[in-house]
Amino acid sequence: MNITHLPTISVLSDSVTIAQLDDVKIVRIIHDKAEAAISLHGAHVLSFTPKGQDDLIWMSKEAIFNPEKAIRGGVPVCWPWFGRIANPAHGFARNSTWTLIEHRENENGVMVVLGLEASEETKTIWPFEFEARLTVEIGDQLTITLDAKNTDDKAWNCSGALHTYLNVADINTTTITGMGSSYIDGLLEGKVCSGGDTLSINAAVDRVYTQPENTVLISDTQRTLSVTNSGHNAAVIWNPWAEGAESMGDMNNDGYQTMVCVESTYHAASLETAKVIQPNESFVLSTTINA
């Protein structure tokens, strides 16, 4: 994703500016180590390009940058739940406006912290107090950490995911390892299945791998991407294939050929069985991506 041409709204430091992308504001990072972009709409990482490399993050050419819609591609923040276990699907964090809390930089890179707190609007969807922070560290690698603190006087349950869309040269020659063999198949009504240690994709895939290693490797003919997760209990792998891409108004029809989602996920079948977070405790989920 080319971020250098976007109009600048304000300059925050040598490496950090606020820029405009259609109807959303983004935090733009241009540093000797890497370039990156993060939308304040959804605290959504849109791009991460280490020096001398191609973008590791996939964005749809038809993505809509509008505060009323979730953004197709990048790294959506799915919280306080993942999937369709409540409404809206994947929670409200990805459709909320986050605030820039902090930014720091040195010769090794840039750190950006975005924040979201409970409001009357969020309480109409989920009636709890919380304080969420998304920390994005940009350098030789990209690390994204969601820390959602329970500031209520009672416990609440949540699940979540960092729904990372990765750039690959060609999905037909891409292999994935480290996800484990046991998975829940979303295309087979949640059937529990077992597969091999290596996944090649030649049709639509929507799987929740329930015993992943901490690091999943995605290899194509040009490079190997490493995705290291923590705080998770699952790794979700998703590609909509041709029929899925064609059904989405914000995804180009051939977009599925150059992407795969590998997601750091805390999966639960329902909010009642999701992770219990006591007052003053936090739900923490992270992913680190490099090539």
For residue 209, give the 3-state DSSP assignment. strand
Instruction: Confirm if 131 and 245 have CB atoms less than 8 A apart.
Output: no
Tokens of 43: 């605290």
The answer to whether residue 232 is catalytic is no
User: What CA–CA distance (Å, rounded) separates 200 from 220?
Assistant: 10
DSSP code of residue 98: P
Q: Where are the alpha helices (DSSP H) in the chain?
A: 120-125, 241-247
For residue 95, give the 3-state DSSP assignment. helix
Burial of 233 (0-12, 13-18, 19+ CB in 10 A): middle
What is the side-by-side order of every strand in the sheet holding 34-39?
A: 8-11, 16-21, 24-30, 34-39, 44-50
User: What CA–CA distance (Å, rounded) separates 291 from 226?
Assistant: 6
- Find, among 251, 244, 215, the residue nearest to 71 by Cα: 251
**Of these residues, 163, 189, 232, 246, which one is catalytic?**
163
The answer to whether residue 263 is catalytic is yes
For residue 85, give the 3-state DSSP assignment. coil
**Paired strand residues for 143:** 137, 288
**Of these residues, 35, 105, 137, 263, which one is catalytic?**
263
Catalytic residue set: 163, 263
